[in-house]
Structure formats: structure tokens, C-alpha cells
Amino acid sequence: MSHRGYAVETLNLAVAAFLLLNLLAGLGRVHRGPGAADRMLAALLFGTTTVAVLLLLAEAMALPALRDVALLLVLLAAILAVAFTRIPRRPDGAGR
């Protein structure tokens, strides 16, 4: 691999690691909430972050099939949101 190619690969992995760190930091929102919607939105954001990480990994690892995984996650992201909205609102307005 050329010197330049190696640098690009390292950069890709570094950005992927940064995004993963972001995702792990977002877990704090899942913990603190306070509402169910806050937690669900955090999970949806994790899905978007995972798509970005997969696209970076597809480049860094030279595995184009990982783009299909990202495509699948984008396609199916809506299902979680729809399933969440089917949960009836709690009387006190706050989630768990």
C-alpha cells in the first residue's frame, strides 16, 4: 500500500473511532432520559452514527459489502420510530 493510501486508511479509522466515541457518549442520554422520547431519539441517532461508521469501515477495510449493511440500516430505521409511536402516551406525560 502506498504511503498516501495508508494515511487515508488511518484517517478513516480515526474518524470511525471518533464517531464510536460519540455513540458511547450518547448513551448518557439514554441513561438520564428523562422522557421515553429522549431515549428513543438517542437510539435513532445511534443508528445514523452506525451507518457513518460502516461507510468509513467499508473504505478502510476495503470491504464494499459493508455498504450494503449501511443501506439496510437506513432502510429499516423508520420501523423503530413507527413502533415507538404505537406505544400509548403515559398519563403523567413522562416516559421511563
Partner 1 sequence: MGLAFDLLLAGGLLGLALQVVASRGLFRSVVLFIALGLLMALAWARLAAPDLALAEAAIGAGLTGALLLSAYRALQPAEEAADPGPAALPRWGALAAAVLSGALVAALGWAALGLEAPAASAGREALARLGESGVKSPLTGVLLGFRAIDTLAEVVVLLVAFLGARVVAEPLQRAGPGPSAPGSGEPVLTAPLLRLVVPMGVIVAGYLLWSGGHQPGGAFQAGAVLAALGVLLRLTGRLQPAAATSPAERLALVGGIVLFSAIGLAGAGTASAVLAYPEAWAYPLILAIETGLAVAIALPLTLLFSGSAGLRWRER
Binding site for partner 1 (CB under 8 A): 10, 13-14, 16-17, 20-21, 23-24, 27, 30-31, 33, 36, 39-40, 42-43, 46-47, 50, 53-54, 57, 60-61, 63, 65-66, 68-69, 71-73, 75-80, 82-88, 90, 95-96
At which residue does the C-alpha cell 461507510 appear?
A: 55
* Least distance (Å) between residue 18 CB and partner 1: 10
Cβ neighbours of residue 70 under 8 Å, at least 6 residues apart? Answer: 50, 51, 54, 55, 58
* Least distance (Å) between residue 1 CB and partner 1: 13
* Least distance (Å) between residue 17 CB and partner 1: 4
CB nearer to partner 1: give 3 or 31: 31
Residues 26 and 45 sit within 8 Å (Cβ to Cβ): yes
At which residue does the C-alpha cell 459489502 appear?
A: 65
The HSE-up count of residue 35 (CA atoms within 13 Å, CB side) is: 10
CB nearer to partner 1: give 1 or 65: 65
Residue 44 and residue 82: Cα distance in Å, rounded?
A: 11
